[in-house]
Amino acid sequence: MEIWINPACSKCRSALTLLDAEGAEYTVRRYLEDVPSEDEIRAVLDRLGLEPWDITRTQEAAAKELGLKDWPRDAGARDRWIAALAGHPKLIQRPIITADDGTALVARSEEAVREALSHSKR
């Protein structure tokens, strides 16, 4: 399992604490330093079953500078949103856990982290 984190994020730190408490095996990706490519973002979106605007932090300064709130949320704009996430990784909602069975979750709650654990081998 892999978890995309920002170490400054309290929800990310809480998720790591829970994973450690459960003895989970995982890889940490500090996505602000190891920025995911557009293809990696597409793959995670497919695993999440979400669209890029669903995992975009629209209150971030970069979102306001880009005018994201006015961008269309449709198939024609999907690549534009993905490019924005790759170009401004701070916009990516966190933490994201990709489980061993191919699923993924935005793990902002203890319940979501536990669900990711249930999808991963121990």
pTM, two decimal places = 0.93
12 labelled catalytic:
no
**Average pLDDT for 86-95:** 97
**Beta-carbon-side half-sphere exposure of residue 2 (alpha carbons within 13 Å):** 11
Catalytic residue among 9, 48, 62, 112: 9
In Å, what is the CA distance from 80 to each residue of 34, 38, 84, 87? 21, 10, 6, 10
Given a cut of 60, is residue 122 above it in pLDDT?
A: no
* 5-51 tens-digit pLDDT: 999 999 999 999 999 999 999 999 999 999 999 999 999 999 999 99
Alpha carbon 6 to chain centroid distance? 10
- Please say whether the beta carbons of 31 and 119 come within 8 A: no
